[in-house]
Amino acid sequence: MSTSSDHDATGCLMCGLERNEDANVVFRDPLWSGERVPGYDVPGWFVLRVRRHAERITGLDEDELASFGRRARDLAAAVTEATGAPATYLMVFGENHPHFHALVTARGEDVPADRRSGNILRLLAEHADPEAAARLVPAVRRAYDLLADDGAHPLPV
């Protein structure tokens, strides 16, 4: 198993998030982390990332693969709950940062039609607001804790 420090030297942004400030973290378990990524400061944008360096979905081990769907569902639900967004997107690309991660983005009513679907990524340059993004983390954390720990969505231990 690779450690994050093995890949920090190569510039893996996702591995470097192991040092992300606690104030940016929605949750961490042994396999996954959901967090706000400094530099991607659109309010309602979070990353769900595997905690070890695994490239692409094909690089996930059986436990990571088995738990990905639940963690993605719970983080997307928490972001939706905290923001009241009518749509929350889950996007996986992996070209710029090949470490497996998914971008969870809340799409508010105020987002114009030409910035919806894949075009929502244009909001990074147009709507970055680090302070507003940071203020949203505690509400998403509370919603995540309620949704993921309600017994309806337990992960195997």
- Percent of the chain predicted with pLDDT > 90: 64
Q: Strand, coil or helix: what is 34?
A: strand
In whole angstroms, give the CA distance from residue 41 to residue 88: 16
In whole angstroms, give the CA distance from residue 49 to residue 24: 13
Handedness of CA 71, 27, 40, 16 (dihedral sign): negative
The tokens for 29 are: 């378990």
Phi–psi pair at 50, nearest 5 degrees: -70, 140
Mean pLDDT of 17-46: 94
pLDDT averaged over every residue in the chain: 85
Whole-prediction pTM: 0.84
pLDDT higher than 70, residue 110: yes
pLDDT higher than 80, residue 57: yes
Residues in Cβ contact with 132 at an 8 Å cutoff, skipping those fewer than 6 apart: 43
Mean pLDDT of 126-143: 93
Task: Between 124 and 61, name the one with better pLDDT.
Answer: 61
In whole angstroms, give the CA distance from residue 19 to residue 75: 20
pLDDT of residue 113: 77
